[in-house]
Every structure is written in C-alpha cells, then in structure tokens.
Amino acid sequence: MKVCGLIIVAIALTFGNVLTTFSVAQDSAPEFSQKGYLPLPWLLQEVGSKYECFFTIEDSMNENDPLSSLRAQRVAKLSDARNLADELERLRRTVPNFLYEINKDNPKIVHIIDARLLQKKQYALQGIIGKIDFNGQINELPAAISKQGIAIYPMLVVMTSEQPDFITTVEVKGERLSVRDALTNFVPLEGRIGRTIWIARTNVAEDSLTHIYYPWSGKKP
C-alpha cells in the first residue's frame, strides 16, 4: 500500500507539472490580446477574415536573432482602417522588414515578404520554372518544383501549433511560371477557412534552401 501510495503521489506531481506548464502556455496567448497586440500570423488571420482575402508568408530564419522574424512580431490588433490597402499600409509602416505584393492574377491574395530576403543574390521565390506538369497532394508540390533546380523543399519540421495540409490536391501546369505563382495560383480557395495559403522560411545564410509549408485549410475532406 505504501508503494502504491508513493506511485500515486508521483503521478499526481508529474501531472501537476504538466498542467502548470499548460496553464502558463494558455495564459500567454490571451495576454497579447489584453494588451492590444497579437502575433503577426494571428493578425493576418483576422485581416483575411475581415476582408475575405488570403496570404502567403515569406519569412526569414536567423538562429542568432530568432525574434527578428516576421512571425515573431507582435502587432497592434485590427485598426479602424477603411479597407485592406489601409491595413496593409499600417503593417508596412509599423512591422520591421514587412513588405507586401498583391497577386497579379487574384487581388484577393496578398504575398507578405520579409524585405531582407529580396536582398539575397539567388532567392528561390524570385525564380522562374521552365516547365511543370504536377498533379498530386499539395505538400508534395515544393519537392516537384525543386526538381527544376530551384532551391526549395518541403518543410519537414513545423511548430506544434501548426497542422499540415494532407488533404488538398492541385494540378499545376505551365511554362515560365514564377515560383510564387506555381505555389499559389492553383490552390483552391473556395470554402477555405485558413487564411494563410503557404509559409516559406529561408535562413539568412546566402546559399540556404527555402522550406515551404502548406497549413491546413480548415476544409473537411
């Protein structure tokens, strides 16, 4: 009985630590809301819902300065902007290295780009695909594009809060397509709940790969 009692106490202490850790993690997110600030990816979800638009995010990675990435930025909550253009301009003025580009084929899609990436000599997302004929699962598309000699690859490790899209299938065909267009323009948007189409992360090292990740769309199979 004494041994059993010790085991129960140990289990209780263990779960107590887990619950405490979980509680702190849960409390940290609302704290930003109370102060009027949100992580940039969360804010983009709200902006997308408000203006019925979608985003792609090209972020940088720097092991020596992890807080400099776009996803690490805390941004003031939705403003009283009159339209999407005003909201994007507010973000451009207030978020370091924040650039945006409206998709030329679909104005409902906005490309968010870390300005530092455009200074790289050979940045994969600026590349052109000679010819592509792909039909398959969306998370397999980056690997197919990499076969064209472009330095992108699927993101194999994602944050625990992220859920990959293992459902959506796409058919991508064309010649002289930009990498951004190939990754973006063939993704079905109807019924999509998630407002981020894909996320790219590139190390600031000159010759590093760009890793692409398609988050779950929110649509049921």
Nearest to 202 by CA among 213, 194, 192: 213
What confidence tier does 160 reach under pLDDT thresholds 50, 70, 90? low
Q: Identify whether 58 is part of a domain.
A: yes
Same-domain pairing of 7 and 88: no
Q: Determine the number of helices (DSSP H) and then strands (DSSP E) in the chain.
A: 5, 10
Same-domain pairing of 20 and 126: no
CA atoms within 13 A on the CB side of 199: 27
CB 130 within 8 A of CB 175: yes
Residue 4 has pLDDT above 50, yes or no: no
User: In whole angstroms, what is the distance from residue 140 CA to residue 214 CA?
Assistant: 10
Domain that holds residue 121: 36-213
Q: Which two tokens stand for residue 100?
A: 């945006």
Same-domain pairing of 24 and 41: no
What confidence tier does 36 reach under pLDDT thresholds 50, 70, 90? confident
Q: Identify whether 194 is part of a domain.
A: yes
Percent of the chain surpassing pLDDT 90:
62
Same-domain pairing of 126 and 60: yes
pLDDT digits (tens, 9 = 90+) for 41-74: 999 999 999 999 999 999 998 877 888 899 899 9
Number of domains forming the structure of the chain: 2
Same-domain pairing of 21 and 68: no
Same-domain pairing of 27 and 43: no
Same-domain pairing of 30 and 71: no
Q: Identify whether 218 is part of a domain.
A: no
pLDDT digits (tens, 9 = 90+) for 169-215: 999 999 999 999 999 999 999 999 999 999 999 988 777 889 999 99
Same-domain pairing of 66 and 85: yes
Only one residue has tokens 């403003």, namely: 79
pTM here is 0.80
Same-domain pairing of 40 and 18: no
pLDDT digits (tens, 9 = 90+) for 111-158: 999 999 998 888 999 999 999 999 999 999 999 999 999 999 998 766
Same-domain pairing of 50 and 105: yes
